[in-house]
Amino acid sequence: MDKVVDHDHRIHWAVSLPFFGVHLVALAALVVPFHWAYVGVAVGLYYLRMFGITAGYHRYFAHRTFKTSRVFQFLLAWLGASSAQKGVLWWSAHHRNHHKYSDLPGDAHSPVREGFWWSHVGWILAPRYEETEWDRVTDLSKFAELRWLNRYHLVPPFVLALGLLLIGGWPLMIWGFFVSTVLLWHGTFTINSLSHVFGSRRYQTTDDSRNNVVLALLTMGEGWHNNHHHYMSSVNQGFYWWEIDMSYYILRLLERLGLVWDLRTPPQSVLVLRQAQDERLAIARWWTSG
């Protein structure tokens, strides 16, 4: 039975003030002393925390595509929370819900149904999505440390910002935290707002998910979104060697170090299905051209 959809698009403006405030503070990068090292830190922390979202929040917590220890599990959750994209249980629950209702009534951020603004950022600021859907994450909520981190999800970004301030003063904090975080937010949000609109469709899924190489590079592999929606339990979202998936490559390195294991990849039947589709398409093109 489909989830009842409430088309109330109200934004909780008072609660959302910090979100917009971070954007305003990031503009201070235009007036503080500049050094290319600040840009390097901003880019480095963008991709480090993007890994926390893609490999941690998404591929591990939301989809359980690999296994790890309880300690490293907490470290992944902490790294993901440092992106200031709410708690790990909140994120995982809403993402699981998205897959159940993708581009259907009940999907919180479908650009096909609700448009760019709502799918990109509006839904995050809406009071109707503030709470964690606990029934979606019963496998994760049994860990007390994850429940704590979900409740105090602002602790990791605060610690990061404070550390940057103590190390390099205001310029480093503005570039390393505020500029990097704003870019990280919108880089992540493009998967909700753009990857169901722009790109190619390898698999005929029940939604409008698409593969997009530009988004894949910005999000360390998440842009292979049609692949992911076709077979969501795979740790790699780039199914073929030419589909760059940096999160997967790093996870393979961590596997060699013994920090993660049992990485799940798509079965041959998924890849054979694609090859069969290619052959049928080639035959159809040859037939029509003749």
Q: How confident is the model at residue 4 (pLDDT cuts 50, 70, 90)?
A: very low
CA angle 107, 55, 173 (to 5 degrees): 100
pLDDT of residue 14: 85
- pLDDT at position 282 over 70: no
The sign of the CA dihedral 216, 221, 227, 230 is: negative
- pLDDT at position 1 over 50: no
Q: How confident is the model at residue 288 (pLDDT cuts 50, 70, 90)?
A: low
pLDDT of residue 11: 87
pLDDT in tens, 101-131: 999 998 999 999 999 999 999 999 999 899 9
- pLDDT at position 218 over 70: yes
HSE-up of residue 126 (Cα within 13 Å, Cβ side): 16
Q: How would DSSP label each residue in 140-192?
A: TTT-HHHHHHHHTTTHHHHHHHHHHHHHHHHHHHIIIIIIHHHHHHHHHHHHH
Distances (CA, A) of 45 to 36, 64, 68, 229: 14, 24, 23, 28
**Long-range residue pairs from 9-14, CB within 8 A, at least 24 positions apart, any chain:** 9/114, 9/118, 9/122, 9/126, 10/126, 10/127, 10/128, 11/122, 11/125, 11/126, 12/125, 12/126, 12/127, 12/130, 13/125
- pLDDT at position 151 over 50: yes
**What's 260's DSSP letter?**
E
- Nearest CA among 119, 89, 113, 278 for reference residue 200: 278
pLDDT of residue 272: 67
